[in-house]
Structure 1
Amino acid sequence: MGKKRTIGFSRFSEVQTAWLFMAPGLILLALFTFWPIIFSLPLAFTNYSVIGETSFVGLENFKRAFADVDFIASIKNSLFYMIVVPFIQIISIFMAILVNRNIAGIKFFRTAYYIPVVTSMVAVAIIWGWLMSSNGVLNYLLMATGLISEKVNWLSDKDTALWALMFITLWKGLGYYMMIYLAGLQAVPTDCIEAAKIDGASNFQVIRKITIPLLKPYIFFCTLISLMGAIRVFDEVFVLTSGGPGNATLTSSVYIYQQGFEKFEFGFSSALGLIVSCIIMVFSIFVFVFNKKGGVNPY
C-alpha cells in the first residue's frame, strides 16, 4: 500500500510540475490570444470605434465587407499567395534530404539554411527592399547577364510586386520547414530504405516510394501552418509595399490592420477578421480531409 501511495504521489507531483512550467505560457496565451479572440466575436456585430458611441448593428459589418472592393481584392491576393505553399514544401523537403547526411561540414549548411528563419522579418524586408530596388543588386545582376534589358521596379510594379513578396516569403520560410522535415527524416526506419536499395531501387524511387509517404504526417503539419501563414501574411507586405501599388499587394491581414488601427473601425475590422478566420478554417478542413493517413502508423 505504501508503495502505491508513493507512486501516486510521484505522478501527482509530475502533473503539478508540468502545469507549473506551462503556466506562464498559458497565461500569456489567455491574455493575448484567447481573450482577444473571444472579445472580437461580439465586437464584429457592433460599430465600435473607440472614438464614437458603440451600438449593435447586426450583420451590417459583414454586408459592408462583401460589398467592399478593397476587401475582396485583399482576399484574392491572400488566396493567390497560397501558390507559394507547394513550392516551399517541395523545396524544403529536398533541402532536408540533402542535409540529412553524415558528411563533413553538414552542420554549417544546416545552420546557414536556418539563419533566415531567426532573422527579423523587418530586417529581411529592408534588405530585400534594397536588393529589389530599381538601382539594386538584383537588377544589376540580371542586366549584367542579359536576362533583362532595362531596370525593373520589382516592388513598385503591380505586375511584379506580389510575386516579389511571395519570393521573399519563400526564401525566409525554407529553413523552418527544412528543420521539421529533417526531424521527420531522422525518424524514418533505415531498414526500409536499405531493403529497397538491396532490391534495386534508385535514390529517386526510394524518395518517392518510401521517404515521402513516411513523411506524410510532417507534410500535413507543414502544409497546414504554411497555408495559414500564406493567408495571414502581413510583415513583408506592410514593411515593403503597405498593400501598394494600388491594391496589387493588399492582403487581408494588412487591410484588417488598416481598418482597425488606422481608421479605428474595430467593429468592422473584427468582422473582417472573422471572415478570414472562416476562410482559413475551410482550407484547414480541406487539408485534414486529404491527409488522413500517412507515416509509419496511420492517424
Structure 2
Amino acid sequence: MPPSSRSATPWLFLMPALLLLSLSVLIPAVLALLMSFTRSGLDVSEPLAWVGLSNLRRLWADAVFRRVLGTTVLYLVGVVPPIVVSSLGLAILVNRKLPGIQLLRAAYYTPVLVSIVVAAIAFRWLYAENGLLNGLLATWMGSEPIGFLADPRLALVSVMVVTFWKGIGYYMVIFLAGLQGIPVELYEAAALDGCRGWRVHLHITLPLLRPYVVLVAVISAIAATKVFEEVFLMTQGGPAGSTRTLVYYVYDQAFRELDISYACTVGLALFLLVVLLTLLRFSVAQSSRFL
C-alpha cells in the first residue's frame, strides 16, 4: 500500500465522527459566535442586522449578567471542594478488601445512573413544605416548615445538594481507579516504618493521586459552571433570581425574551469561562509533573 493511502486510512475511519461533530457542535458554535455580533430573534424570515460590538457592550453593562456570573462562581465554589474531598474519601473507604465491598461501591455509584430529571423532581418533593425533610424536622425538633426552595438564602444550597449527590459516585470511581494503580508495597513499607492512619494517605495517597485530584476538580468545576437541569426543574431561577446561573440566563434570554443574539453573547462568555478552567487544568497538570 502506498504511503499516501496509509496516511489517508485513519481519516476515512474518523470521517463519520468528524462529520457528526461538525454538524452538531462546530458549525452551531461558529454560527452562535457570528450571531453574537448581530441582532436577531426567532423569526428566521427577518434579515440579520450587524451590530458589531453592541451586544458585548451591553453584556459589560448588564447588572443581571454580573449577578448571574457571581451566582455561577458561587455555585462552583460551593460544589467543587466538597465533591472532591468527599469522593476521594469514599474512594479510600471502598478501596478496602472487606466483605460486601462490591455492594457498597454499587450503592455509592447508583445516583450516577439516576436521571437528573428524576433526581431533581424527587428532591423537589423532599424539600416541599409538606415533604419528607420538613416532616422529619417537625417530628424530631418541632420546627416550622422550612422553605428550602422558597428562601433565597437556602435555595442555591439546596440545588447544590442535588449536584453533589448526583456526581459524587462518578468522581469516586475516578479516584478508585487511581488508588488501585498505587503499589501495595508502598503502604506495606510505610506500615513497617510506623506510618499509619491518615498519615499514610497524607504522605503516599495524596501525592500519587495529584493528577486525579486536578482532573476531578476541573471536570466538576466545568459541570458546575454549566448546571441547568437542576435549576430549571427545581426553582426556575428563583426565588428572586437567587439560583439563576449562566446557562439558565442563556435559556432565559433565548426562549423567554426571544433575544437570540444576546443569548449567544452570554453563551460566548460561558464558553470563555469553560476555556479558562480547561487552561487552568492543563497548566496545573503541567506544573505537577515537575513537583
Tell me if TM exceeds 0.5. Answer: yes
Shift, 1:55, TM fit:
1.0
Alignment of 1:87-102 (within 5 A): 87-102=82-97
Shift, 1:30, TM fit:
2.2
Q: Does 1:130 align with 2:139?
A: no
Alignment of 1:1-299 (within 5 A): 16=9, 20=13, 24-51=16-43, 52-82=46-76, 83-146=78-141, 149-294=143-288
The amino acid of 1:232's aligned partner reads: K
Shift, 1:201, TM fit:
0.5
Q: Distance in 2 between matches of 1:74 and 1:124?
A: 24
Q: Distance in 2 between matches of 1:24 and 1:191?
A: 46
Q: Which moved more, 1:163-172 or 1:35-44?
A: 35-44
Q: Structure 1 residues 179, 241: CA separation in 2 closer, same or farther (over 3 Å shift)?
A: same
The amino acid of 2:29's aligned partner reads: I
Deviation readout 1:164-222 (Å, 9 max, x if unpaired):
00111111110010011111111112222221111110121111111111111111111
- Paired residues of 1:133 and 1:154 also in contact (CA < 8 A): yes
Shift, 1:298, TM fit:
5.4
Instruction: Say what the alpha-carbon RMSD is for the aligned residues.
Output: 2.5
Q: Structure 1 residues 172, 108: CA separation in 2 closer, same or farther (over 3 Å shift)?
A: same
- Paired residues of 1:70 and 1:247 also in contact (CA < 8 A): no
The amino acid of 2:226's aligned partner reads: R
Shift, 1:116, TM fit:
1.0
The amino acid of 2:195's aligned partner reads: A
Number of aligned residues: 288
TM-score (structure 2 length as normaliser): 0.91
Q: Distance in 2 between matches of 1:206 and 1:18?
A: 48
Unaligned runs of 5+ in 2: none
TM-score (structure 1 length as normaliser): 0.88
